[in-house]
Homo-oligomer: A and B are copies of this chain.
Amino acid sequence: MNGVHDMGGMHGMGPIQPEPHEPVFHHRWEARAFALVRAMGAFGRWNIDASRHQRELIPGPEYLRMTYYERWLAGLAALLLRHGFVSREELAAGKSVMACEALAPQMPATPALRAADVPAFIARGSPAARASNAPARFEQGQRVRARNLNPVGHTRLPRYVRGKCGIIDRVHGVFVFPDTNAHFQGECPQHVYSVLFEAQELWGEGFASGDAVYVDLWESYLDAA
């Protein structure tokens, strides 16, 4: 979707403000929000693409008003609701209204992530590469054009490269495809490429010649050019 989250190339977002000696979390609630998202993600009822898309669905004006972890909280609440972990009433009340089972018969009643399992959970991560014998359609050095796709659903093809020509810089391998995975329509793994776009191709004459932006793009985002 062409949401405000897709902000590469925009002006007017204010100055960059590095903070010396910045703490990992600025407020305790941020730490809890971060951990809640991870702990509930451990149930495996959704995936990282669905989770990102849920945050993108926050309406533009609200998205920009919120801080990073406010978006995480909003996205988590929406996912919990959608997947039957909590009811709207419970979210409003901040406490259990009825047994979880009553809402969704398959619902677990024990945490997916125990304290003892946290180190292994972090160490394991959630690899998105998939074994595949599919041949790569493009090879290093090949000229490609990013397709002009404007789906209403999730995509990782940013607006600023659509329609632009680039060069395959490296072939990363085969990865889960977010555009389907975010909507629970399957992993549909595809090759991912790092594509080099010259700054002048992206932004026009007058930009520094030689400067470039490298963007990781799935095969179906690209046409030979």
A contact set with B: CB distance below 8 Å:
1-4, 9-14, 56-61, 63-65, 147-150, 152, 159, 163-164, 202-204, 207
Most buried by B among A13, A61, A147, A204: A61
A14 CA to B4 CA, complexed, in Å: 12
In chain B, what residue has the closest Cβ to A6?
B10
Known: A2-B10, A13-B60, A150-B203. 17 other contacts (CB 8 A): A1-B11, A2-B11, A3-B10, A3-B11, A3-B12, A4-B10, A4-B12, A4-B60, A11-B152, A12-B59, A13-B59, A14-B60, A14-B61, A65-B65, A148-B202, A149-B204, A150-B204
Copies in the complex: 2
A203 partner residues in chain B, CB cutoff 8 A: 148, 150
Q: From DSSP, what is the main secondary structure of chain A's interface residues?
A: loop
Residues of B within 8 A of A148 (CB): 202-204
Q: Which B residues touch A60, using CB under 8 A?
A: 4, 10, 12-14, 64
Q: List 21 A-B contacts (CB under 8 A).
A: A1-B11, A1-B12, A2-B9, A3-B10, A3-B11, A3-B12, A4-B4, A4-B64, A11-B152, A12-B56, A12-B57, A13-B60, A13-B61, A14-B60, A60-B64, A61-B64, A61-B65, A64-B65, A147-B204, A150-B203, A150-B207
